[in-house]
Structure 1
Amino acid sequence: MHILVIEDEKRLAYLLRRVLQEERHTVDLAHDGQSGLDLALSDTYDVVILDLMLPGIDGLEICRQMRAEHVTTPILMLTARGAIEDRVTGLNVGADDYLTKPFAMAELLARINALLRRRDRRFDDNLQLTVGDLTLDLVRHEARRAGRVIELTAKEFALLEYLMRHPGQVLSRTQIINAVWRYDIDALSNVVDIYIHYLREKIDQGFDYPLIKTVRGVGYKIEARESGK
């Protein structure tokens, strides 16, 4: 699963990343409120671990803005505070669970697993994305078109997942880079075009119609063929 950790205490953030990676999760880190919010709003994560006290924008405001933008990613809020009113405030603004520092890593992992199970019960359809005759199984990490298995690299899979989570929506190169690559745009001026080319060779060539479309001057989208065409 893909987890975002927003924690300004770097020692703890790196420890969390190591523990979660040992559990075979993919982990992104943010050490301040603004960068954490920017990543969280990309809506590409399975869980967000969010510290309450952050430089700049605090955890409560990040949580409010995520929910205001209809980002439904489960949020596990961390804080050194133990007062009941702080926990209540966090839950009221949209956090799904609350963990007070210091905590045992075993409890953190148990709470993350509980959030994932809860999400999976509510959103079972999101574990398999479908556009036309293309399906993407997020559990098996497998792509199929017209029943044919398509081999994808990790980055190709991440790009295809992002496109398929927004079917019919035109996504700019900047949006795609922020969601899939998350680092210096200047160093990646043509990486989106290159990977779109790779995907087209795998999921469009040899099939009845293309799914990935170019919108000139804007970006790319994925959509099924309209009926009758």
Structure 2
Amino acid sequence: MYGSTREKPAPARGAGQHLLLVVDEPDLTELLSTTLELAGYRISVAGSGAEALARLAERRFDLLVVDANLPDMESLGRDRPTVADRPPVLLLTGYESLDSLVPELGLGERDYVTKPFRLAEVLARVQVLLRGPGTRRARGDALSYRDLVLDDTLCAARRGARALGLTPAEYRLLRHLLVNAHRVLSKEQIGRYVWGDHRGDNAIEQLVSRLRRKVDRDAPVLIHTRRGFGYWLGGADAES
């Protein structure tokens, strides 16, 4: 179902960062622990949301890897840790659960991989969350890239001082692009994130076009097309 430690080994990407793995499946816990340790990370394990909260109260972690299907998953959003520097979170989830993940989880920066996943994808997303692809956390639950700011608390976005007035679908698309800044997202990835299933190319093209008219009315242009592959957000001088 998942990747195997026999896959072609990826270069070690960690530098001793301390990760908390929140998973209640023994086989998956062992697989991820072994893979992440071999990649250069220190690993602690919690089998529930309540145990994860207890560990977060005891020490600081650089990143959480969380199974979104934990029975008490909602406790991580409701009983958020009272710490100033909240750790980023990589969620392991199914496509059908994506809508419920935005924006309720009250931890730090968030990204996800969908099940069944490849270990190489988990390692890549961990690296992005730890190093940051250009997107930064501004204040509270606000994501920003240059003068573009998206506030999860208010479900609102602005570019500079100008409010963007996004629809819910446009908001979800912009959030997906921001979290994955400098990463090309396929139309299928966008459709499943925004609507929970894949829509026709025309529907996605129209949604991207509407969002561009609002976001890129001011220079520089931030939303780009990689023909044949998908869309990405970043400065024109940045690599995708």
The TM-score, its normalising length taken from structure 1, stands at 0.49
TM-score by length of 2: 0.47
